[in-house]
Amino acid sequence: MVHECDTTDYMDQLSLSTKSARGGQIVPTGGGVGAEIRGLDLRRLDEEGFRLVHRAWINHQVLLFRGQHLSAGELIAFSRRFGTLEVAPNQETGQRFVEGHPELYIVSNVIENGRAIGSLGSGEAHWHTDMSYLTDPPKASILYALEVPPSGGDTGFVNLYAAYEALPAALQARLAGLRVKHDGTYNSGGYVRHGLTATDDPLAAPGELHPLVCTHPESGRHMLYLGRRRNAYIEGLPLPESEALLDEIWTYATREEFTWHHQWQVDDLILWDNRCTMHRRDPFDAMHRRIMHRTQIKAETRPSA
């Protein structure tokens, strides 16, 4: 299990490579967000170990666990420790996922018997927060790698606390009280969501309004909450003004120094805090197979300032 260090402040310990007494080791990625937890089998995590993993997740926002060997049921069981799971949204095809496991969403380019077994194909997936076009977006997502291409398909994460903190004070003040529309038309791969009509008019596009600056319910820290750039619209502003302000904010939100990019291996599992990060995916060669299972955990509270 992972052990909390008992000598100095735990937050300080987590900023270093931390070797626990009995196994788990928390190693920051060295990028702008995230840490790897080494030496843990997620099928055998006791209550104390889980508490420390949870704490590391709140502190580092994104956690990588390599070398896990999880069945669909074990992935769901680990995910459930964080809260109630979402029923996975429909794939672009309108199809539903894995027989017997409504919580599992498949991200894949694989075609079997003429049908896509998952979503997002092999193209680039643009920066986004999962399902923030809903009133109650999930608080966390977990992605588990079953098959990966030899190159490409890396997933990047960005730290939205750091992005908010980098804004000049005048810009922070300008954003206070503003809400942004999180487009529901397209998924991050640019596919129109099932049952919706394509539009590139941010005023007309369907979506949910959330505060542009939110307070994290567990850490108490402020972060930018942007969702995705396409069809975003800042409530009440003339469209050109909204576009200009969003462009300015997005230059901070995607600064390389706030990011970390992961090159996947089979049996890697990544857990991210969907409230204070965004993620994106590099394209990869469509001739190679990539199959990932994803679960999502419902939030207890709505995004709020």
Residues that bind ligand SIN (CB under 6 A): 107, 120, 125, 130, 155, 188, 279, 281, 292
Which class for 85: exposed (0-12), middle (13-18), buried (19 or more C-beta within 10 A)? buried
Q: CB–CB of 40/67 below 8 Å?
A: no
Taking the C-alpha atoms of residue 133 and residue 75, their distance in angstroms, rounded to an integer, is 25
288 contacts: CB under 8 Å, gap ≥ 6? 122, 149, 150, 152
In the bound state with ligand SIN, the residue whose beta carbon lies nearer, of 110 and 171, is 110
Q: Which residue is it, tokens 């979402």? A: 86
Q: CB–CB of 16/140 below 8 Å?
A: no
In the bound state with ligand SIN, the residue whose beta carbon lies nearer, of 24 and 153, is 153
In the bound state with ligand SIN, the residue whose beta carbon lies nearer, of 18 and 155, is 155
CB of 194 to ligand SIN, least distance (A): 16
In the bound state with ligand SIN, the residue whose beta carbon lies nearer, of 132 and 155, is 155
CB of 247 to ligand SIN, least distance (A): 22
Which residue's CB comes closest to ligand SIN? 155
In the bound state with ligand SIN, the residue whose beta carbon lies nearer, of 275 and 279, is 279
Q: CB–CB of 286/76 below 8 Å?
A: no
In the bound state with ligand SIN, the residue whose beta carbon lies nearer, of 130 and 208, is 130
Q: CB–CB of 156/259 below 8 Å?
A: yes
Alpha-carbon Rg for the chain in angstroms: 19
| Listed residue (88, 41, 52) closest to 269, CA to CA | 41
CB of 119 to ligand SIN, least distance (A): 8
Helix H, strand E, coil C: the string for 215-228 is ECCCCCCEEECCCC
CB of 188 to ligand SIN, least distance (A): 5
Taking the C-alpha atoms of residue 293 and residue 270, their distance in angstroms, rounded to an integer, is 11
Taking the C-alpha atoms of residue 305 and residue 38, their distance in angstroms, rounded to an integer, is 35
In the bound state with ligand SIN, the residue whose beta carbon lies nearer, of 213 and 232, is 232
CB of 104 to ligand SIN, least distance (A): 13
143 contacts: CB under 8 Å, gap ≥ 6? 107, 155, 269, 270, 292, 293, 294
CB of 189 to ligand SIN, least distance (A): 8
In the bound state with ligand SIN, the residue whose beta carbon lies nearer, of 120 and 297, is 120
Q: Strand pairing partners for 38? A: 25
CB of 108 to ligand SIN, least distance (A): 9
Taking the C-alpha atoms of residue 16 and residue 5, their distance in angstroms, rounded to an integer, is 11
CB of 271 to ligand SIN, least distance (A): 13
